[in-house]
Amino acid sequence: MTAPVSELIELLSLERLEDNLFRGQSRDIGTKYVFGGQVLGQALSAAQATMDAVKEPRSAHSLHAYFLRAGDIEAPIVYLVDRTRDGGSFSVRRVTAVQHGQPIFFLAASFQREEGGQGQHQLSMPEVPMPEDIAATTDLAPEQLQKLPSKVQRWLSRQGPFEFRHVYPRDELNPPKRPPFQHVWFRLSERVGDAPELHRALLAYASDFHLLGTATFPHGISYYQPNVLMASLDHALWFHRPFRADEWLLYSIDSPSAQDGRGLARGQIYDRHGKLVASTAQEGLIRVANETKD
Residue 293 forms part of a structural domain: no
What phi and psi values does residue 253 have, to the nearest 5 degrees? -125, 140
Distance, in Å, from the CA atom of 201 to the CA atom of 185, rounded to the nearest integer, reads 18
pLDDT, tens only, 57-110: 999 999 999 999 999 999 999 999 999 999 999 999 999 999 999 999 999 999
Catalytic annotation on 72? no
Query: Tell me, what's the pLDDT at 294?
Result: 42
Q: Which of 26, 91, 182, 282 is catalytic?
A: 282
Residue 235 forms part of a structural domain: yes
Q: List CB contacts of 236: < 8 A, sequence separation 6 or more.
A: 62, 63, 64, 65, 280, 281, 282
Beta bridge partners of 186: 164, 249
Q: Where do the DSSP E strands lie in 168-220?
A: 181-188
Residue 268 forms part of a structural domain: yes
Cβ atoms of 211 and 264 closer than 8 Å? no
Residue type (1 letter), 120: Q
DSSP 51: G
Catalytic annotation on 208? yes
Residue 123 forms part of a structural domain: no
Residue 124 forms part of a structural domain: no
Catalytic annotation on 232? yes
Domain of residue 24, CATH code: 2.40.160.210
Residue 282: other Cβ atoms inside 10 A: 26
Cβ atoms of 27 and 38 closer than 8 Å? yes
Residue 128 forms part of a structural domain: no
Q: Which domain holds residue 175?
A: 3-113+137-288
pLDDT, tens only, 216-261: 999 999 988 888 999 999 999 999 999 999 999 999 999 999 999 9
Residue 118 forms part of a structural domain: no
Q: Which of 232, 252, 255, 268 is catalytic?
A: 232
Q: Say what the pTM is.
A: 0.93
Q: Which of 45, 110, 208, 225 is catalytic?
A: 208
H or E stretch including 138? none
Residue 5: other Cβ atoms inside 10 A: 19
